[in-house]
């Protein structure tokens, strides 16, 4: 086991499916779905059936989560990009630098 797959559990809860209903819609056993949510990688055919039911790719559902450090760096980069894109617009509009009158 590699740790719980919170993506699968979250998607199931978001659709308001109990484990039995979800497994029926996916045509996999409840054990397969439960184990997948607990972090056990299912067979390829089961992974494909589960991903189709959620409308996502197998890669999206079973890719490792982003680490906290990487997520923090991504957020900082986004903030910096947003801030730098606003600075030239504000400078050219003259709002930050009022005209000096003689």
Cα angle 51, 27, 47 (rounded to 5 degrees) comes to 30
The single-letter DSSP state of residue 90 is H
The single-letter DSSP state of residue 41 is P
pTM summary value: 0.60
Paired tokens of 35: 């184990």
Poorest-confidence range of 6-10, 63-67, 88-92?
88-92
* Residue 10 CB neighbour total at 10 angstroms: 11
Where do the domains of the chain lie?
Answer: 6-62, 66-102
Of the two residues 99 and 16, the one the predictor is more confident about is 16
Poorest-confidence range of 39-43, 84-88, 89-93?
89-93
Paired tokens of 56: 């996502």
pLDDT of 1 reads 44
Sequence length of the chain is 102
- Any alpha helices (H) in the chain, and if so which ranges? 6-14, 19-26, 30-37, 44-54, 58-62, 68-93
CATH architecture of 6-62: Orthogonal Bundle (1.10)
Tens of pLDDT, residues 35-77: 999 989 899 999 999 999 999 999 888 876 666 667 677 778 7
- When pLDDT is averaged across residues 71-91 and rounded to a whole number, the result is 71
């Amino acid at each position: 086991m590699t740790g719980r797959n919170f993506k699968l559990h979250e998607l199931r809860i978001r659709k308001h499916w109990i484990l039995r209903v979800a497994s029926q819609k996916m045509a996999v056993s409840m054990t397969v779905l439960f184990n997948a949510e607990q972090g056990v990688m299912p067979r390829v055919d089961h992974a494909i059936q589960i991903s189709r039911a959620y409308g996502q790719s197998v890669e999206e559902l079973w890719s490792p989560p982003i680490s906290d450090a990487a997520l923090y760096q991504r957020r900082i980069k986004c903030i910096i990009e947003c801030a730098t894109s606003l600075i030239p617009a504000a400078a050219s509009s003259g709002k930050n630098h009022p005209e000096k009158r003689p």
